[in-house]
Structure 1
Amino acid sequence: MKTYKHVNYLWDDKIAQSLQGDEVALLLYRSNILGADLRITNYGGGNTSCKVLEKDPLTDESVEVMWIKGSGGDIGTLKKSGLAALYLQRLRNLENVYRGIEYEDEMVALFNHCIFDLSSKAPSIDTPLHGFLPFKHIDHLHPDAAIAIAASKDGKRITAELFKGSIGWVDWQRPGFDLGLQLKACLEANPGIKGIMLGSHGLFTWGDTAYDCYINSLDVIETCATYLEQSYGKKNNVFGSQKMVSLSKAERNAQVVKLAPILRGFCSSERHMIGHFTDDERVLEFINSNDLDRLAPLGTSCPDHFLRTKIQPLVLNLDKSECLDNVAEVKRKLEPLFAGYREMYAQYYDSCKHENSPAIRDKNPVIVLYPGVGLFSFAKDKQTARVAAEFYINAINVMKGAEAVSEYTALPRQEAFDIEYWLLEEAKLQRMPKSKALSGKIVLVTGSGGGIGKAIAKKMAQEGAVVVLNDINADRLASCEEEFVEAFGRDAVMTTLLDVTNEEQIKHALNDAVLAFGGIDIVVNNAGLSISKTIEDHTQEDWDLLYDVLVKGQFLVTQASTAILKAQNIGGDIVNIVSKNALVSGPNNIGYGSAKGAQLHMSRLSAAELGAAKIRVNVVNPDAVISDSNIWAGGWAAGRAKAYGIKIEELPAYYAKRTLLNEIILPEDIANACFAHVGGLLNKSTGNILNVDGGVAMAFLR
């Protein structure tokens, strides 16, 4: 076992031995362990391949087949279904019909004529880069240490001196068929080299076996990283020394909680975005430095970095300790910054566009830097926002390394544009699934650990939202979190304990939501309980508990959420789960029924007040939701059965028979009603009540 300082050696001989004889399985194993180290390549970055002999299903003869990561894949999570398999000779024969670099995009369609496994993934643009090299196993990676050298002004010279001619060099060129031919030419001109550095782009390494390739990749990256480390020691203050000192962690979080919703509102001017924040020490070193203003506008160099972080970040002109309590004043200061960024981006598009360029995309920044505090990123979903931040940290590492050994150079703007608005990239975007109704939305459902609340949160997540799960019961919340993470992924879920009668816990829960996602869009006031007693048996404690949870709880959550919704200035939804009992009088129900009546009218009052801010407030009135309901775990069921003179087990049938539709109401029915309010078709509707009770005539609004 070899030891490394700057990369993780993850090769397990036992696992590898179990895969011997299956080169594709070894390719997948190598890919996964390479992708597990973000210093080697980030999510979705890089490409790996192997060449093996396969039996041709048409001729029964042995043919050489290249298995390579398909379009849009990630080597860290790669499975065989994510590989493309091509007849190698057919791929190489495409050189006979290649008409030159002006026509190289047309070659992508010809890759389909080379496919060996018809069920495999579509080939990526990197396919010819691997196909024209003769080696059995090839890695194309984006390690920060290597790109730092590749993106430096003297990168070619440094590469030659550092590796003593054992690593070749190919100048920057957009990936494609022609670059594959250039790699082939580089190898022919430099026989015996063990890899090729691509200017501003990344690294190619290879080997005759999966293990040899893996070790070669680690060795080259380790050499680059060691060289950078030594250079840092020789050059103090790589970023021109620190201009300021960061706030403390608690102070940084306090600033983020205040600022993130405002930033999210600006960045969501064209579509709702989810936010991510990081105050990683590498970020703080960069944004607090004297060289921030010089380096940040240059943008990134590696195409994989650039595609996810945009042409350049937006640097805020706010002082790190500035009071951000006055939302209107903060917006006034930031408005010119965002207007200027959008104007810059439009000028960048207009000056670089071609006749057939796709239409301009969202002009808002993806990366926002707040000196002394941290980095915000905004994207269509949490994973994309998080990955964008990770890629910008990679870019910071590259800038630091390049500045240490030489001078950082970014892609020329025209080259960057030709990557960002590449017709092949546009085609890939057009092939992506259509966004779901709640994509980009952040939802908090109170009492979402079980019953109706859990069903509502699940429906929202199924429709594309990220969800803030919360409950007063820690065990129930933990179980719910596990279920949601398995179903929707870690990036779509966060949890926080919440007692809706506790103002501090409400504030803490909403702060958590802002820190995790950048704000809030939809609030569903669902937390509740039920007490069924006669007037004589009702105690003041019963009364206070019902009004605290149902009435005060709805008020406090609505009040705290409104401040965030208004700071974002992109509208929002509040849905209150009330009850048929708000409209219908019945026995043994004075506390619960009157509290529900208060919730209902509070909803109408909220709708009247918040409409000017485009915040819609609507109501769902359930009735008799027994399945998985926390309400029925207490004495409510017994109380209602007693009131109606029936047995507890007879309640579901009793409730169904008294409805016009003769239906049992399920938590999913309430969830669907909530989605009806917030799913986009009723954006001009507020102050409404939707009964989900199977049809109870006494509850008709009249």
Structure 2
Amino acid sequence: MSHPLHPEAEALLARSHRLGADPRNTNYAGGNASAKGSVADPVTGDDVELMWVKGSGGDLGTLKAEGLAVLRLDRMRALTQVYPGVEREDEMVAAFDYCLHGKGGAAPSIDTAMHGLVEAAHVDHLHPDSGIALACSADGEKLTADCFGDSVVWVPWRRPGFQLGLDIAAVKEANPQAIGCILGGHGITAWGDTAEECERNSLHIIRAAEAFLAERGKAEPFGSALDGYGPLPRAERRARAAALAPYIRALASQDRPQVGHFTDTEPVLDFLARAEHPRLAALGTSCPDHFLRTKVRPLVLDLPPTAELDVAVARLKELHSAYREDYRAYYEQYADENSPAMRGADPAIVLVPGVGMFSFGKDKQTARVAGEFYVNAINVMRGAEAVSAYSPIEESEKFRIEYWELEEAKLRRMPAPKPLATRVALVTGAGSGIGKAIAHRLAAEGACVVVADLNAENAQAVAEEIGGPDKAVAVTVDVTSEEQIAAAFAEAALAFGGVDLVVNNAGISISKPLLETTARDWDLQHDIMARGSFLVSREAARAMQAQGLGGDIVYIASKNAVFAGPNNIAYSATKADQAHQVRLLAAELGEHGIRVNGVNPDGVVRGSGIFAGGWGAQRAAVYGVEEEKLGEFYAQRTLLKREVLPEHVANAVFALTGGDLSHTTGLHIPVDAGVAAAFLR
């Protein structure tokens, strides 16, 4: 039996959406909000006080009812009677399960106590850049008093948890005039008797802190401009970023493969052009949400953007080795026998002056959000340096949170990655037919996909169908053009960090007898399929070798590569060319861990761009059948008597690249429902 959502919970969702929609208020998935209200107990009929609070892992801006944890307030507050003290406060998270109302909704987060123990009907806990700037200033307590008087109270740094909830509750009780507090090294908390009052108080703290920093702050908090470190012009900057991306992704993927994201917004470029950026970057981020995403500090290239590419790459490798040594030393200094194993020593953020920021994660969204969090950190550093000095929490405290058992438990709850997770695929001719089906299948298996097609509108439509820029991007490319192919791979590098899996699918077909086949017919088909596949594979090999992560190249050839049929000289000859490219490149690229395989489809009529473009009518005329019956005709001449669809070809591509055939290269898989004359032998 379903019930309408309580009015206080409805107001909570609306408030959360408004607050979460503005990045000045809080970062993605950062902070939480709550509401309290009375309902009738479904068992006794008596009134019972409940609390609705954003559950673990949710995002305020997109929060839904099912993302709320629902707890009985009397039981939650009774936990104070069994609280074993700060040394064992982590045990209280499991105790929240005994306070749930009914099934309880989402899993309660570590911040649940902050909301439940504070005597206020509505509570917001947020991570605004302006609030964290005060929270991470060397004299944050004094600045808080200067900014707010006694209406906002300073709470010294304490790791999120039950004790912090008790601290904030005590602060509110001792300061009845206060509307909220600044949490040292962390963020802000505000409260109110109504949803409207709570939101108003949150926004007042955020905007008042912004105004205070602007009015009191010095003009150049990051210091003077560094000679030669200013941003390159946009086109040069992005070309340099694309050239560096595969090398940087290789460094960030030493422990486990990562997807990349590139950012060259003004705050990043200005930070890297200033004299103080090396000092500040070395101090690391502070807000727990920041460094859990960005690691304890970034890797910073200490060369100007005009340095030769090979010099920059060599220096990045040196810095990466030092970064890994420093991270291991950090882990070993603070770890004890109960600490989780080290998760990896590669950077999540790589800063390149004059070019921008590369951020990394297990998927595109994680990589993008890591970059967003480092921009938050830059904003925090700017604010703190403007009015004081940036002073993040101690590294020992950062370690306690990064390797917190509760954080480890959250990671263990994550679903297993999909087979193609962290892999970046580029599919040519992906705007329709077989290519479109391949793009969809690879994305469904976890890959990020670059949808490459001559038809820009079709490519964009497919990218949007797959899920937009965190899943797929569209590039317009004529595979006969070396420049356009290079540009497509550059876009892939900027979007996802590089390319791991390339499918040569682009093609056309002209069906004519020998004497009617013109030199132009021959050249056009060979330019697109034979030459185009060669050019795409060459660019793919260049990118994959730079990454050093291996890779896959798959050719969509054809049954016609081995079968001799009538009136098809140009198409079949170019498909035979593609088929032998598979063997040649498998032999050459194996030493780099790059596997090259092929798929030989036949009779893929439904959804095919080639067949729709006139090829179907031509082949139907050759075989003396109606065009709309061509698929059925092809099916009846096969051993299995089954029609081949684009999805069946996509299945074969996944079989070759999904992991089970990890030791296979130089193979052609027929997807033709069985054509004996095309058996490989």
Cα distance in 1 for residues equivalent to 2:624 and 2:21: 63
Q: In structure 1, what is the equivalent of residue 657 of structure 2? A: 678
Cα distance in 2 for residues equivalent to 1:161 and 1:546: 74
104, 113, 129: which is aligned to 2:114?
129
Alignment partner of 1:73: what SS?
A: coil
Q: In structure 2, what is the equivalent of residue 420 of structure 1? A: 402
Cα distance in 1 for residues equivalent to 2:255 and 2:329: 18
Cα distance in 2 for residues equivalent to 1:516 and 1:594: 36
Correspondence 1:518 to 2:497:
yes
333, 338, 343: which is aligned to 2:320?
338
Cα distance in 2 for residues equivalent to 1:96 and 1:21: 29
Contact 1:652 1:664 in 2 (8 A): yes
470, 476, 497: which is aligned to 2:476?
497
Alignment partner of 2:470: what SS?
A: helix
Q: In structure 2, what is the equivalent of residue 3 of structure 1? A: none
Q: In structure 1, what is the equivalent of residue 47 of structure 2? A: 62
Displacement of 1:342 in angstroms is 0.8
Cα distance in 1 for residues equivalent to 2:520 and 2:107: 65
Q: Which residues of structure 2 form unaligned runs of 5+?
A: none
Q: In structure 2, what is the equivalent of residue 167 of structure 1? A: 152
Q: In structure 2, what is the equivalent of residue 16 of structure 1? A: none
Displacement of 1:445 in angstroms is 0.4
Contact 2:122 2:195 in 1 (8 A): yes
Displacement of 1:643 in angstroms is 2.3
Cα distance in 2 for residues equivalent to 1:496 and 1:431: 36
Cα distance in 2 for residues equivalent to 1:602 and 1:116: 64
Task: Give the alignment of 1:15-30 within 5 angstroms.
Answer: 22-30=7-15
Alignment partner of 2:600: what SS?
A: strand
Alignment partner of 1:44: what SS?
A: coil
Q: In structure 1, what is the equivalent of residue 385 of structure 2? A: 403
Displacement of 1:106 in angstroms is 0.9
Q: 4+ runs of 1 displaced by more than 3 Å?
A: 329-332
Displacement of 1:48 in angstroms is 0.3
Cα distance in 2 for residues equivalent to 1:595 and 1:121: 57
Displacement of 1:331 in angstroms is 4.0
Contact 2:150 2:177 in 1 (8 A): no
Cα distance in 1 for residues equivalent to 2:179 and 2:58: 26
Cα distance in 2 for residues equivalent to 1:37 and 1:391: 14
Q: In structure 2, what is the equivalent of residue 238 of structure 1? A: 221
Q: In structure 2, what is the equivalent of residue 82 of structure 1? A: 67
After superposition, give the CA deviation of every residue in 1:609-628 in whole Å (9 maximum; x if it has no partner): 11111111100000101110
369, 372, 381: which is aligned to 1:387?
369
Q: In structure 2, what is the equivalent of residue 639 of structure 1? A: 618
Cα distance in 2 for residues equivalent to 1:478 and 1:315: 35
Contact 2:230 2:270 in 1 (8 A): no
Cα distance in 2 for residues equivalent to 1:59 and 1:161: 51
Letter in 1 for 2:447: A
Alignment partner of 2:39: what SS?
A: strand
Q: In structure 1, what is the equivalent of residue 579 of structure 2? A: 600
Displacement of 1:635 in angstroms is 2.4
Task: Give the alignment of 1:214-613 within 5 angstroms.
Answer: 214-232=199-217, 235-243=218-226, 244-324=229-309, 326=310, 330-485=312-467, 489-613=468-592
149, 153, 161: which is aligned to 2:134?
149
Contact 2:301 2:315 in 1 (8 A): no
Q: In structure 1, what is the equivalent of residue 33 of structure 2? A: 48
Contact 1:532 1:635 in 2 (8 A): no
Displacement of 1:20 in angstroms is 12
Contact 1:603 1:687 in 2 (8 A): yes
157-166 or 546-555, which deviates more: 157-166
Letter in 2 for 1:63: V
After superposition, give the CA deviation of every residue in 1:448-488 in whole Å (9 maximum; x if it has no partner): 01100000000000011111112112332233233222xxx
| Residues 119, 455 of structure 1: alpha-carbon distance in 2 compared, 3 angstrom cutoff | farther
161, 165, 185: which is aligned to 1:200?
185
Q: In structure 2, what is the equivalent of residue 37 of structure 1? A: 22
Correspondence 1:665 to 2:665:
no
Alignment partner of 1:418: what SS?
A: helix
After superposition, give the CA deviation of every residue in 1:303-324 in whole Å (9 maximum; x if it has no partner): 0111101010001133211221
Contact 2:464 2:472 in 1 (8 A): no
Q: In structure 2, what is the equivalent of residue 12 of structure 1? A: none
Q: TM-score, normalised by structure 2?
A: 0.97
Displacement of 1:219 in angstroms is 1.0
Q: Percent identity?
A: 54
Contact 1:20 1:26 in 2 (8 A): no
Contact 2:460 2:473 in 1 (8 A): no
Q: In structure 1, what is the equivalent of residue 630 of structure 2? A: 651
Cα distance in 1 for residues equivalent to 2:391 and 2:37: 39
Letter in 2 for 1:458: H
Cα distance in 1 for residues equivalent to 2:506 and 2:92: 58
Aligned CA-pair RMSD: 1.4
| Residues 21, 362 of structure 1: alpha-carbon distance in 2 compared, 3 angstrom cutoff | closer
Letter in 2 for 1:140: H
156-165 or 386-395, which deviates more: 156-165
Alignment partner of 2:515: what SS?
A: coil
Displacement of 1:119 in angstroms is 5.1
Alignment partner of 2:332: what SS?
A: helix
Displacement of 1:520 in angstroms is 0.5
Cα distance in 2 for residues equivalent to 1:695 and 1:358: 53
Alignment partner of 1:118: what SS?
A: strand
Contact 2:423 2:448 in 1 (8 A): yes
Displacement of 1:136 in angstroms is 1.1
Alignment partner of 1:573: what SS?
A: strand
Cα distance in 2 for residues equivalent to 1:204 and 1:547: 66
Q: In structure 2, what is the equivalent of residue 7 of structure 1? A: none
